Structure 1
Amino acid sequence: MRWIRQPRRRPPRDEGRIALLVIVLTVAVLAMIGLSVDGGGKIRALQRADNLASEAARAAGQAISGPQAIQGGDKVVDPAAAGAAAQNYLAAAGVTGTVLVSPDRQHITVTVTIVYTTVFLGLVGIDTLTATRQATAAVVAT
């Protein structure tokens, strides 16, 4: 009896599989870096918008109506002066915002909007992120 020799099977070749794995992992790592960079930028923009809104509201709250306060009446905000003070503060900071004085002229609400230009998210079509914050100041008579 003659033995038929089976051809030796070669193990499957791994060529190219590692390269595909490296490409997938590289894209995943770059996506995580991009999200952390642009996410951190958005958080900084939100913090800046919050700080600017608070300070602009505080600046507007100092614009009280002089004649009424001097005569011993209620301390109320002069809407025109308060709006101008807040807008001047926001313009000096290089941002845009809105100022709203309450009907009783005791509260000033400032809304600030900052546009953050993305670094990595622009690669997927997200070029800007908007950060909007609002702060309110109240007139306190001492």
Structure 2
Amino acid sequence: MIARWRRAVALRTERDRGQLELFYAGIVIIAFLVIGLVIDGGAALDADSRADYLAQEAARAGAQQINPGEAITGEAIVVDPDAAQAAARSYLTAHGVDGDVSVAADGQTLSVTVHDTYRPYFASLIGFAHIPVTGHGTATLLHQAGG
């Protein structure tokens, strides 16, 4: 009885050549890739949202710089282009990002584009040192007469 059992065990171990170990190694590699994609992808989306947020807030900061000379006389309510661009750039600098600021010709709309980079955790291991992100924001002056 014991002899049969030993032969059965010996036959089983001869057929085992490590195929299961390769399978598990492949599964582990795929799992790490998926985890890395989820973590870096989510963080990249977060960085993109942050860039949009900073652009929008910089546009609002710039749009608050109205031209007092035209507003007081009642000519028009428009932004002072130089002060608006300076305020928006100051906001961006305070938050550590670069961007482009422009004021529309009518002086009613300020547009900001933010350029930033995201440094991934896992993707940096395979050669992606940084991922560029861009955010856009616009502020338009609104006013109500007699309100």
| CA positional deviation for 1:15 | 2.5
Match of 2:32 among 11, 14, 30: 30
Q: Aligned partners of 1:41, 1:131: CA distance in 2, in Å?
A: 11
Superposition pairs of residues 80-91 of structure 1, within 5 angstroms: 80-91=82-93
Is residue 39 of structure 2 the alignment partner of residue 47 of structure 1? no
Is residue 35 of structure 2 the alignment partner of residue 72 of structure 1? no
Unaligned runs of 5+ in 1: 1-9
Residue by residue, what CA displacement relative to the aligned partner does 1:84-121 show, whole Å, maximum 9, x if unpaired?
A: 00000011111111101111111000001220001100
Higher normalized helix content (fraction of residues): 2
Structure 1 stretches (4+) deviating beyond 6 angstroms? Answer: none
Q: Secondary structure at the match of 2:134?
A: strand
One-letter amino acid of the counterpart of residue 45, structure 2: I
Q: How many residues align?
A: 133
Residue by residue, what CA displacement relative to the aligned partner does 1:41-68 show, whole Å, maximum 9, x if unpaired?
A: 1011011111111110000000111111
Q: Which residue of 2 aligns with 1:109?
A: 111
RMSD: 1.2
Unaligned runs of 5+ in 2: 1-10
Q: TM-score, normalised by structure 1?
A: 0.89
Q: Which residue of 1 aligns with 2:4?
A: none
Q: Aligned partners of 2:43, 2:116: CA distance in 1, in Å?
A: 11
Quick one: percent identity of the two aligned structures? Answer: 41
Q: TM-score, normalised by structure 2?
A: 0.86
Q: Aligned partners of 1:14, 1:110: CA distance in 2, in Å?
A: 64
